[in-house]
Amino acid sequence: MTRSAKRLGPARLRPVTAVSESNGATDDGAGDGATANPGNGAVTNGAAPVQMKPGRHREATLYHALHGAGAGDGRTLEQLREAALKAYEAAELPVWRRSGFWTTSLESLDLDALATSVAESGVPDVVSRTLPDRPRAGRIVQSAGAVVQVQLDEALAEKGVILCSLEQAFEQHRELASEWYCKRMPIDRNKLEAANAAFWTGGAFLYVPQGVVVEEPFEIVYAIDRAGVAQYGRTLVVGAPMSDFRVQEYDLAQDFEGQALHASAFELYLQDGARCRVAQLQDWGSGEVFDVSTRFVGVGRDAYCHWLPALLGGHLVRQHLELAVMGKGGDMAFRGLFFAEAHEHLDVFAVDLHETGPSGGDVHWRGTATGESRASFEGLIQIDPGAQQTHTYLQIHTMMLSPKARVDAIPSVLVSADDVSASHGGTVGELDETAIFYMQTRGLDRAAAVKVIVEGFFEPLVAELQDEALEELVRGKVEKKLAAARDDIEAYAASR
């Protein structure tokens, strides 16, 4: 089964005009008498229409919190798919722009050449090689468009825990899945978001009943084992009141030549008093994998979530990560790390949203870049009217390791209440030559000293995973990336 966009004519470069994500198409040609047609990308000014190359159309999307009800407004799954298909057919591939100096474009993505395969092909080797061999509460693996493995501890199944494909959840637990599906997730902000909502297959569904405490992690895996794949991952997790559990998502790909797409949507809802630790490990390998994903975590009354994504590789990655405190007394810790290398492009927008108070939050990210990569992190604290007695802090620290890499760290605050404490900070630094010299006087060579410094830079967050096997996996991947970038790091030191 192939899902593809209409192929457009030759590209013609035009200035990009930024519009709100929630605003859809706009007439941006008032200045030159042109009008934009959102349906096919054509631009007219009284002359013959000019076709725009996908991903290079005139409208760009600014960065905004989801902030509000999702598409799940009582419509059935079939109705939501139909609405998403219409949005997909009307939209162009998105362009994101921040403050006029950072643009993420999908103009090089050949969506027509990608297909969604639902043929079951077994668990890919990259999954077996990567995931730690240890006790787990359950595991679900999706390769391309098909779920190829589902495991759930029998004792947990007897307690009412559900772990299955999202398709199966709508077949066997339709009322429960429908109640939470798209509760806060939109389906029509851009073409790939609409494609996910219209075309997803397989998917993952996890439900932890009231009062159930699970010590071992649930593993949710999305894998791509070859080029030419369009994978639309869809995950829905619900923690009932007073439940306590862990979720670990792995986004992995084999090394291959050619393009692939992972456009996913992740929803997690914690009801009153529930607690969850969420970790995400992403490494798309050396292939030309585009990852455009939206993730939302909602924290209910007196609930708590610790969320830590580790974004460690992908040709082009654009992640919208939003953690919202939706109930009084909710609290969260939002952590994350990233490592961009070679020619990778990483664009992260992380939202710390407080809809009511009292509530708490703490956001802390760290990242680095080597080669000619581009990495950007924008963190937003948003406190709504009425969210009094909210206390939150956002910090982002980045380290430059290459003379040709670029890293942007942009913290921001949007406050609409007056009895709150909210602050932010951001730093961009480089290797400390004094510290390197000191370690060399103690017997370490330069490469070992650099390794110690960079690994130490990430360690405060890696340790917060509180999972020894996952911690070692992350440390090992960082170590390999440092070894591969040794020449870049030395060149950067020489240029200073």
pLDDT digits (tens, 9 = 90+) for 249-295: 999 999 999 999 999 999 999 999 999 999 999 999 999 999 999 99
CA–CA distance, 238 with 296 (Å, rounded to integer): 12
Helix (H) or strand (E) holding 369: strand 359-369
Q: Residue 37: pLDDT above 60?
A: no
β-pair type (234-239, 204-208): parallel
What's residue 230's pLDDT?
Answer: 97
- The one-letter amino acid code at 320 reads H
The alpha carbon of 445 is separated from its chain's Cα centroid by a whole number of angstroms, namely 37
Which tens digits make up the pLDDT trace of 137-178? Answer: 999 999 999 999 999 999 999 999 999 999 999 999 999 999
In a 13 Å sphere around the CA of 220, the CA atoms on its Cβ side amount to: 25
440-462 tens-digit pLDDT: 999 999 889 999 999 999 999 99
- Strand spans (E) along 126-208: 138-143, 146-152, 162-164, 204-208
For residues 333-361, average pLDDT = 97
Predicted confidence (pLDDT) per residue in 390-448, tens digit: 999 999 999 989 989 999 888 999 999 999 999 999 888 888 889 999 999 999 998 89
Name the pairing type of β-strands 95-98 and 102-105. Answer: antiparallel
C-alpha to C-alpha distance for 412 and 425, rounded to whole angstroms: 9
pLDDT higher than 90, residue 7: no
Which is nearest to 465 in space by CA: 333, 272, 324?
333
- Which region among 23-32, 174-183, 345-354, 359-368 has the lowest average model confidence (pLDDT)? 23-32
pLDDT of residue 62: 67
What are the residue ranges of helices labelled H in 318-388? Answer: none
pLDDT of residue 119: 79
Going from the C-alpha of 231 to that of each of 4, 35, 204, 266, the distances in angstroms are: 12, 34, 13, 14
Mean per-residue pLDDT of the chain: 88
Do the beta carbons of residue 187 and residue 193 sit within 8 Å? Answer: yes
Enter the pTM of the model.
0.89
For residue range 71-108, list pLDDT tens digits in order. 998 999 999 999 999 999 999 999 998 755 679 999 99
DSSP secondary structure letters along 346-363 = EEEEEEEEE-SSSEEEEE
CA distance 301 to 303: 5
What separation in angstroms does the CA of 293 have from each of 81, 231, 282, 482? 18, 11, 12, 26
- One-letter amino acid at 38 equals P
Structure tokens at 216: 């071992």
Which one-letter amino acid corresponds to residue 297? Answer: V
> Which structure tokens are listed for 214?
């699970």
Is the predicted pLDDT of residue 31 greater than 60, yes or no? no
The amino acid at 345: H
Question: 161, 214 in Cβ contact below 8 A?
Answer: yes
User: pLDDT (tens digit, 9 = 90+) per residue, 179-212?
Assistant: 999 999 999 999 999 999 999 999 999 999 999 9
Amino acid type, 374: R
- Output the pLDDT for position 13: 33
- In 3-state terms the chain splits into helix, strand, coil percentages (rounded to 5) of 20, 40, 40
Measured CA to CA, the distance from residue 18 to residue 193 in angstroms comes to 18
SS3 236: strand
Among 301, 302, 244, which Cα is nearest to 278's? Answer: 244
Task: Judge contact between 373 and 398, C-beta under 8 A.
Answer: no
pLDDT of residue 490: 81
Q: Which carries the bigger pLDDT value, residue 36 or residue 476?
A: 476
Pairing verdict, β 138-143 and 146-152: antiparallel
d(CA 169, CA 146) in angstroms, rounded, equals 15
Distances (CA, A) of 273 to 74, 212, 329, 466: 26, 12, 9, 21
Average pLDDT of span 301-322: 97
Per-residue pLDDT tens digits for 45-69: 344 444 555 655 555 666 788 877 7
Crossing angle of helices 77-90/191-199, nearest 10°? 150
Give residue 432's identity as a one-letter amino acid code: D
